[in-house]
Structure 1
Amino acid sequence: MRRTLPSLMALQCFDAAVRHLSFTRAAEELALTQSAVSRQIRALEDFIGRPLFERVKQRLVLTSAGEGYAAAIRDVLDRAEAATLQLMAHGGQGGVLRLAVLPTFGSRWLIPRLGDFARRHPEVELELVTQVRPFDFDKEAVDAAIHFGPALWPGATCHRLMGETIVPVCAPALLPGGALPDARALADFTLLQHTTRPQAWSEWLHAAGVAGVDGMKGPRFEQIYMVIQAAIAGLGVAVLPTFLVDEELADGRLAVAVDAPLHSQHAYYLVHPATKSDLAPVRAFRDWLLAQVGA
């Protein structure tokens, strides 16, 4: 079935005109005449059936329809350009892998291991961005993501990487007598909260059989790294994955407050759209990462 699409030249002219709010400057950028750009914009408006620009006191401004269309077209053109440049640079072999990672997992676990991936796959260029919550792959220029939670991501394939064990930790100065003898003593401490895991304390307290302690109360931090730093600073007790604070526990910056580890019901996953399963960069990174975790 034939797609309902205007010409690429019309979209390029529209995008340039949006950025400059001038047909003349758009024409200069595209090496066209001003009248050619004007004709392309008029043809695009005729195709869509509504105006995209209007003149207000001799100034070119977008209509409300034009504003929404401009954002969508900019994204389409950016993706098309990126795909074209990638194919030109790599000829379909390797290429760029844009990976969304959890910030603390990325900095503490993944990045120290990436040297091995680079040596094994010099044809793949990694581009890491941070995301702390699930997102829509159709709306983000991302090829894959590392996600913590259940193995649920609509329209995507999830590969389990590892589970985690969480334990309450804090600055040693808060524990002059050593680890607390009983988890109920946490009622006297500030509980540090991680905003993207709001149930972490409640789940740990329930597993420990502790009642009467509000697991939702306490200062909140968006990233695990911030929670770790708050715990080191003595702001309270945090329940954290042991593998992310091994270094702090070993060098004494943190201490276990209650020796009652809990195996999380969730896990870390490599997630990617099912449609990208056979892309060379995704396949190379997936196979390498699964080998790293022994999956």
Structure 2
Amino acid sequence: MRQRRFLPSIKLLFALDAVVRHGSVTAAATELSLTQSTVSRLILNLEAQLGKELFTREHRRLIPNAAAISYQRDIARALDMVQRASMTVVTNPDGGTLSLAVLPTFATRWLGPRLSGFLNTYPGIAINMSTRIGRFDFAGEVFDAAIYYGTSDWAGVNHLKLFDETVTACVSPGFAASHRLETLDDLADVPMLHLESRDTFWSDWFHGQGAEPSGAGGMLMDQFSMVIQAAISGLGVALLPDYLAQIEISEGRLLPIFKQAVPVRGAYWLVWPKDKDDHAPLVSFRNWLSLAAKPESPS
């Protein structure tokens, strides 16, 4: 039996979450469409139920203590899980939902265009996707699986390798027309675009060209979509994964320079918690993805 004392009502938890997030009873009341006095009363009721003071009262302000901040962090995750579960019942009442964390640009430029193939093959499965750039603890999240870039050293999970990374240096047609780009030495005089999560990209690329790393500095960004747009705008030389580069090249927005499809360190992986290994929607997605990621698959 769950102890009711430690299961406050949703109203009480909403009040706590809103007050801690906003740092203001007024803002919390606006979000919840309640009066300030009602929100304050809900907080008092929550403290009474738990037998624990969560806020300091100063001139009608509620200042959360360390316990309240920690409690709100856990409650926010729990509310997210309840919301996702409820959405699943509404959107897919027969079950079969996969919650997936995926890299932003990979989701829009590689996975998204292929998902119709999965949904047509498995029409009873719904996929909920959210973007994540870095690794996270599955125990504190609501995801069944994640797609990430790197090596197979994410601890405590199972791995499925999708494909290795190869990259091509690209510039806009205008940039190519106004800069000399005949030899690798020419790169010393032009800006090079960098991505935070790929700090070895340029070094690997130069080695793939049979040369020692060199070149000028340039802009640093945190997503490929920003790098692509910067290159199209003529701000420098972009180093792009080939599943991205070939799209921009085929559309004429970027031009490849030097040797193309250069192998670099790192690969794309699907990972999932070991206790989700037999989750039926994940098994279906895993089987489909392993085929979709094969080199002969359309790209």
Q: Same fold (TM over 0.5)?
A: yes
Q: Verify: 1:284 aligned to 2:256, yes or no.
A: no
- Which of 7, 10, 20 aligns to 2:8? It is 10
Q: Verify: 1:139 aligned to 2:140, yes or no.
A: yes
Asked whether the equivalents of residues 191 and 237 of structure 2 are also in contact (C-alpha less than 8 Å), the reply is yes
User: Higher Cα Rg: structure 1 or 2?
Assistant: 1
Asked whether the equivalents of residues 232 and 253 of structure 2 are also in contact (C-alpha less than 8 Å), the reply is yes
Larger displacement relative to structure 2 (124-133 or 171-180): 171-180
Asked whether the equivalents of residues 202 and 213 of structure 2 are also in contact (C-alpha less than 8 Å), the reply is no
> 1:263 matched to which residue of 2?
263
What is the alpha-carbon distance in structure 2 between the residues aligned to residue 260 and residue 35 of structure 1?
A: 65
What is the alpha-carbon distance in structure 1 between the residues aligned to residue 63 and residue 135 of structure 2?
A: 35
1:269: Cα distance to partner? Answer: 0.7
Which AA in structure 1 matches 2:175? Answer: L
Which AA in structure 2 matches 1:15? Answer: L
The 3 A distance-change label for structure 1 pair 253 and 38 is closer
Which AA in structure 1 matches 2:103? Answer: L
Q: TM-score of the superposition, structure 1-length normalised?
A: 0.79
> 2:222 matched to which residue of 1?
222
What is the alpha-carbon distance in structure 2 between the residues aligned to residue 195 and residue 141 of structure 1?
A: 26
Asked whether the equivalents of residues 6 and 44 of structure 1 are also in contact (C-alpha less than 8 Å), the reply is no
Q: Verify: 1:70 aligned to 2:72, yes or no.
A: yes
> 1:42 matched to which residue of 2?
48
What is the alpha-carbon distance in structure 2 between the residues aligned to residue 41 and residue 212 of structure 1?
A: 60
Asked whether the equivalents of residues 9 and 40 of structure 1 are also in contact (C-alpha less than 8 Å), the reply is no
1:87: Cα distance to partner? Answer: 6.2
Asked whether the equivalents of residues 192 and 227 of structure 1 are also in contact (C-alpha less than 8 Å), the reply is yes
1:111: Cα distance to partner? Answer: 0.8
Partner SS state of residue 145, structure 1: strand
What is the alpha-carbon distance in structure 2 between the residues aligned to residue 219 and residue 166 of structure 1?
A: 18
The 3 A distance-change label for structure 1 pair 178 and 259 is farther
Q: How do 1:200-279 and structure 2 match up within 5 A?
A: 200-211=201-212, 213-214=214-215, 217-279=217-279
Asked whether the equivalents of residues 102 and 147 of structure 1 are also in contact (C-alpha less than 8 Å), the reply is yes
Partner SS state of residue 98, structure 1: strand
What is the alpha-carbon distance in structure 1 between the residues aligned to residue 150 and residue 47 of structure 2?
A: 47
Which AA in structure 2 matches 1:67? Answer: I
Asked whether the equivalents of residues 101 and 147 of structure 1 are also in contact (C-alpha less than 8 Å), the reply is yes
1:60: Cα distance to partner? Answer: 5.4
1:235: Cα distance to partner? Answer: 1.2
Q: TM-score of the superposition, structure 2-length normalised?
A: 0.78
Asked whether the equivalents of residues 208 and 263 of structure 2 are also in contact (C-alpha less than 8 Å), the reply is no
- Percentage of pairs with the same residue: 33
Q: Verify: 1:191 aligned to 2:192, yes or no.
A: yes
The 3 A distance-change label for structure 1 pair 73 and 219 is same
Which AA in structure 1 matches 2:72? Answer: A
Asked whether the equivalents of residues 160 and 270 of structure 1 are also in contact (C-alpha less than 8 Å), the reply is yes
In angstroms, what is the RMSD of aligned CA positions?
A: 3.5
1:61: Cα distance to partner? Answer: 5.1
What is the alpha-carbon distance in structure 2 between the residues aligned to residue 89 and residue 61 of structure 1?
A: 39
Give CA deviations for 1:102-149 in whole Å, capped at 9, x if unaligned. Answer: 222211111111111122222222222222222222233322211111
What is the alpha-carbon distance in structure 2 between the residues aligned to residue 252 and residue 35 of structure 1?
A: 62
> 1:31 matched to which residue of 2?
none
> In the comparison of the two structures, how many residue pairs are matched?
280
Specify every segment of 5 or more residues in structure 1 that has no aligned partner in the other structure, as ranges.
Answer: 29-33
The 3 A distance-change label for structure 1 pair 257 and 52 is same
Q: How do 1:146-161 and structure 2 match up within 5 A?
A: 146-161=147-162
Larger displacement relative to structure 2 (64-73 or 75-84): 75-84
The 3 A distance-change label for structure 1 pair 205 and 62 is same
Asked whether the equivalents of residues 15 and 42 of structure 2 are also in contact (C-alpha less than 8 Å), the reply is no
Partner SS state of residue 264, structure 1: strand
